[in-house]
Structure 1
Amino acid sequence: MHHSAPDPRPPVLHLAQPVDGGVARVVLDLTRAQLAAGLDVVVACPAGELAAGARALGARVRHWRATRTPGPSLLREVRDLAHLVEEVRPALVHAHSAKAGLAGRLAVRGRIPTVFQPHAWSFEAVGGVTARLALRWERWGARWAHQVVCVSDAERATGLRAGIRADFAVVPNGIDPDRFRPAAADAVPSTPGLELDPAAPLVVCVGRLCRQKGQDVLLAAWDAVLRDLPGARLVLVGDGPDREELRARAPHSVLFAGAVADPVPWYRAADLVVLPSRWEGMALAPLEAMACGRPVVVTDVDGARESLPPALTRHCLVPPECPAALAETVAALLPDAPLRASLGDQGRRHVLSTHDVRRTAEAVADLYRELLGAAPAVSSECRESIHS
């Protein structure tokens, strides 16, 4: 019986938890680029959207049973990861988000080149004792990351202010401009899945239904928007722990689309896309919306502010957790079609020049090369393949 020879290239191992939303998208985009560059890619994560997507791309997927937040199962999760790393024998480990960053660094402890990408700092997401513990861990765990990758300058500055001493690199999130692009004039889709009056002004918010994304603030602002524009409609695209609570307080003009496989039709259907986050690393939704030629309104928090070109901040940036300011901005933009078209056009040009996913993948490939020296696992073929 013929056995194929083992692959001589040591793999890159991506560790991820959570396995949905922006983190999954970033890992899948990197996986796609790295496979195209000829790397052997292994993704270790719990079952879900990410595992299925990585498998479909052709990566090797290893099941890692892990909860979304630290809990009593942490020791077992770290032990499982240590065994997995032993079996996979990666050249480099790239841990995504707080939970995988915690368990991954405890399992590897710097013995293999380790990249940690927080996708927003853990201590910003919590309060009180939990925040203090998270901050102490991030300061301590930094010694076991050869490189900490932040998605915005603001995220890096927050880490430095918090006393995290690490070798930081800033690699802004990227999107695929071939997938996220404006609809042709003759191909603007009908609003998918839900019957809406095409003449009614439509606001769309794409994001996990959770405290971080601030949909509750948008609902608090919505009554004031309706006073100015009684026909306006709001669609919340996504699912999450706050779904029922948000549904209970939403008026009839707010529709819940649930989780969708492809948000592009919703961006294209929107007159305005809003993301009222309380904190961010760098959200993908505003970048995706701008790439589709749509104007966006975001809150003035790390990572969201940086996703806008400077020219748009006057019209598109509002203070966080301020329903009155959000309502005023939305109600001013919705009736002004020429301004919205101009903002959408400027946003798209900005995303194409600054947030192309190929640029992101190339920057990560450069980091890997630096960490691995001239190891054959990441060679100049990477750059050529990503460019092609």
Structure 2
Amino acid sequence: MTRLRVLHLVDDTTAGGVMRVIDHLLTAPELAAQADHELRTVARGGIGPGRLKADVIVSHLAVSWRALPMLALLRLCNPRARLIHVEHSYTEAFVAECVPRKGRFTRLLRTAYRLFDTVVAVSAAQGAWLARIGAVRTGALRVIRSTVDTAPFRALPRPAGPVRVFGAIGRLDRQKGFDTLIAAFRQVEREDIALHIYGEGPEKAALEALAGADPRIRFMGFAANPAEAFAAVDCVAMPSRWEAYGLVALEALAAGRSLLVNPVDGLQDHVATGAVAARAPSAEAWAALITCTAESREARPDAPMPTSLPLWQALIAGTDTQAGQGAGEPSAGPRAA
């Protein structure tokens, strides 16, 4: 029997969450037993890869007006392949924060997504938003949460005692909301807590200026081994302005760390497995949450670590029956995460 050939397309191989998710899909034994997976890099907004030798083509590409001709050509040149698009980037909060012409942007998504047989949302909150704005045609939307190997984080010793070291882990740019976190931390009048910020990025100088001379706030630089950063903190804070899913959240929970999140986008998905949401994405709300967390004496029990690989197996085999229902169904409930 001929094995399925699955080709993953990417237009940005910068080290980060998306590439870690793709690498996990390419190397997972469960998926390798089912099909041959291959990765191909294409030029962003280029002419397109033409006819491809694949039964299933998985797009991890950035959707834009410039990329539409390439996506259309991908569909035209591969009429017998099943085309799947994974939406790693766009979310409700991203549109609210970054998109001035929202109606035009919705038309872009509807136009692009109709070129694919299936569109995968990487969180229930993102999937609910895509369904609500009518971006994906009925029956074509699936929710498969992003996942990576969490074994190195599950192997870490669990923190003992109250939370004293708060950690912020990620690229230092506006999306991550570390400016809000620093402002909140400086409002908390406790000398026995610290904030360690792991990462590099364009906002570093501005964040250092915001931290001022507060000795409790330390910039730790890039964490080449993320597990070491998690091992050094008791709690992980994610005040992101938008976040499609949030691998740092998955890793924090796997490591048994307390997890604080903003009530936006895919960060809402992690509340069910132990995250605590700020009342609002403001410095005042975060200051209250930090204070409450530092005063708490309750140990956080280990949460079960769900895997998305069975959903990927079913989708690749064409046997999935999710279609917006069952496991991974987009939540229509309150978006407070």
TM-score range, shorter chain: 0.7 to 0.9
1:271 aligns with 2:250: no
**SS at 2:266 equivalent:** coil
- Give secondary structure in 2 for the equivalent of 1:44: strand
Question: Is 2:315 aligned against 1:317?
Answer: no
- Give the counterpart of 1:91 among 48, 55, 62: 55
CA-CA distance at 1:273 after TM superposition: 0.6
Q: Which moved more, 1:275-284 or 1:246-255?
A: 246-255
CA distance in structure 2 between the aligned counterparts of 1:107 and 1:238, rounded to whole angstroms: 38
Residues of 1 paired with 2:209 and 2:284: CA distance? 21
Unaligned 5+ segments in structure 1 are 1-7, 46-63, 67-73, 189-198, 373-388
Q: Aligned pair in 2 of structure 1 residues 306, 115: CA closer, same or farther (>3 Å)?
A: same
Residue equivalent to 1:250:
211
2:19 to 18, 24, 36: 24
1:10 positional shift: 6.1
Partner of 1:215: 178
Q: CA deviation at 1:9?
A: 5.1
| Corresponding position: 1:205 with 2:168 | yes
**Identity value in percent:** 27
- The equivalent of 2:331 in structure 1 is none
Partner of 1:364: 312
Q: Deviations over 1:338-378 (max 9, x none)?
A: 31x2x2x2xx323x2xx23xxx1221121011189xxxxxx
Superposed displacement of residue 99, structure 1: 4.2
Tell me the TM-score normalized by structure 2.
0.80
The aligned amino acid for 2:123 is: S
Whole-angstrom distance in 2 between the partners of 1:115 and 1:328: 43
Native 8 Å contact 2:163 2:235 kept in 1 = no
Is 1:168 aligned to 2:141, yes or no?
yes
Q: Contact 2:93–2:241 (CA<8 Å) still a contact in 1?
A: no
Q: Structure 2, unaligned stretches of length 5 or more? A: 321-337
SS, match of residue 220 in structure 2: strand
Q: Which moved more, 1:295-304 or 1:18-27?
A: 18-27
Structure 1 runs of 4+ aligned residues shifted over 6 Å read none
Change (3 A) 1:130 1:235: farther
Pick aligned residue for 1:113 from 65, 73, 82: 82
CA distance in 2, matches of 1:297, 1:17: 32
Q: 1:164 to 1:296 in 2, by over 3 A?
A: same
Cα contact 1:123–1:135 (8 A) shared by 2: no
> How far did residue 272 of structure 1 move?
1.0
Query: RMSD over aligned Cα, in angstroms?
Result: 2.9
- CA contact under 8 A between 2:99 and 2:105: conserved in structure 1? no
For residue 17 of structure 1, report the CA deviation from its aligned partner.
4.0
**Structure 1 CA distance, aligned partners of 2:134 and 2:115?**
15
Shift of 1:122: 5.8
Is the 1:276–1:320 Cα contact (8 Å) retained in structure 2?
no
CA–CA distance in 2 between the matches of 1:99 and 1:44? 17
Q: Tell whether the 8 Å contact from 2:126 to 2:244 is kept in structure 1 after alignment.
A: yes
Change (3 A) 1:123 1:333: closer
